[in-house]
Amino acid sequence: MNFEGIYTPVITPFNEDGSIDWESYGEVIEWQIENGVSGIIAGGSTGEFYAMSKEERIQQFNFASEKINGRVELMCGVNDIRVSECLEITVAARDAGAQSLLVAAPPYSLPSEAELAHHVLKIADTAGLPIMLYNYPGRTGVEMGEEFLTTVSSNPLIAGIKESSGDYSRLPYLTQNFSNIELVVGGEEQVVEFAAWGAKAWVCATANFFPSECVQFMDIIGKQSDFERGKRIMDAFMPLMAVLEQGGKFLQCVKFGCELQGRPSGIVRPPLLPMDNTLKQEMSNIVTIARQALDIILNNKE
């Protein structure tokens, strides 16, 4: 399986009482498809899966599958602190019609590389679907290192790796030593660097509110290899990426970015709290400037 283009880990709009706003969730998915993304990720951390019940997550898979109706790829995040829950959710994702899975290490347990490999291969065996690994030691506490990668890379279902460690040295390491596992952009501020090492796909939270721009960006550097134009686009994106990745309110900023674009977003579920007005104003200014700069670059108004 080849991963190419934008895979949006879509937000989950919530009503003020914390319940899922299903009508708005449908609008979120539809807008992504209209703007040319390659895939929708249901059940990602940007969708606040960790704050949902198992039943809500399964309902979300089924809803997303029905809404997408085969128009783009449906990838489901099947991660949980309990392995038994992971496997139940994996089966539910498969039965809902997922074409691929996003798999990270179970948080808190800190498995060894051999234990993590066993976990991932169990999910692969259970689902029989292509897997995009999700290496994010900042959230899980463990890294997908050499022993792990050597073990799982022999399984053809291990198709890609969303690399979110922030360690640039892993980009050449992965492409040179595990070329059968596709490198996928996992850092919002590192797209050009990933593309330089062959990444053709981006798991892109920013696409929740700039979908068309992100699709065009990935096409320019992933397909066309136009890095000069790509660097200008990244320069326009960079203040936004900085506040997303380093502002300490990633999800709140993503949802507020949707709101600024006139898109449904809703509240965040606890333990997260709303943004303060200072960060809202900063985010509003940055989004306005980014929108204007991207319009100039992407529509050749320079």
> Cα separations (Å) of 186 from 121, 135, 272?
22, 9, 22
Q: Is 108 an active-site residue?
A: no
**77: closest CA among 26, 17, 8?**
8
Answer whether 218's CB lies under 8 Å from 184's CB.
Answer: no
Which is nearest to 159 in space by CA: 203, 186, 187, 129? Answer: 129
Q: Alpha-carbon dihedral of residues 161, 84, 10, 284, nearest 10 degrees?
A: -90
Q: Please identify which of the residues 7, 25, 67, 134 carries the catalytic annotation.
A: 134
Amino acid at position 147, single letter: E
Cα(295)–Cα(82) distance, rounded to whole angstroms?
Answer: 45
Active site (annotated) includes residue 168: no
32-52 core/surface letters (b: 16 or more CB in 10 A; e: else): bbebbbbbbbbbbbbbbbbbb
Catalytic residue among 7, 67, 136, 162: 162
Q: Which residues form the catalytic set?
A: 134, 162
